[in-house]
Amino acid sequence: MPINVYIISEPSLIDFIMNNDIEGFKDYLNETKEKRRFYSVCELESFDTEVEALAFSDSIGYGADEHVVPERFPLWSCKLGDLSFINTIGSN
């Protein structure tokens, strides 16, 4: 089963994810829905294995410095904690 990695680059959304604030995440997406007609909130990459997905996540610098908010944040389709955020993106 392929592993999808959704790369979030919107700083406000990354902050909601890092704070595990699904309600704030949903509210932000709903509030900015009209503005986002012209851009996507994430990039999608698919991989055959978790090893490939991990290597990709490492290549974007995720986890490089835990004291700094990352510029790009991966959500993985194989991680239960990420699924609520991924499903919210899909419904917006």
Which residues, in sequence order, are CB contacts of 82 under 8 Å at separation 6+? 6, 75, 76
pLDDT for position 62 = 56
69 is a domain residue: yes
Containing structural domain, residue 88: 18-32+45-92
Structural domains counted in the chain: 1
Quote the DSSP letter at residue 75.
E
84 is a domain residue: yes
61 is a domain residue: yes
Tens of pLDDT along the chain (92 residues)? Answer: 799 999 998 889 999 999 999 999 999 988 887 666 555 778 899 999 989 988 888 777 655 566 677 788 899 998 999 999 999 987 76
Angstrom distance (rounded) from CA 59 to CA 29:
27
pLDDT for position 60 = 76
8 is a domain residue: no
Is residue 3 within 8 A of residue 46, CB to CB? The reply is: yes
pLDDT for position 33 = 74
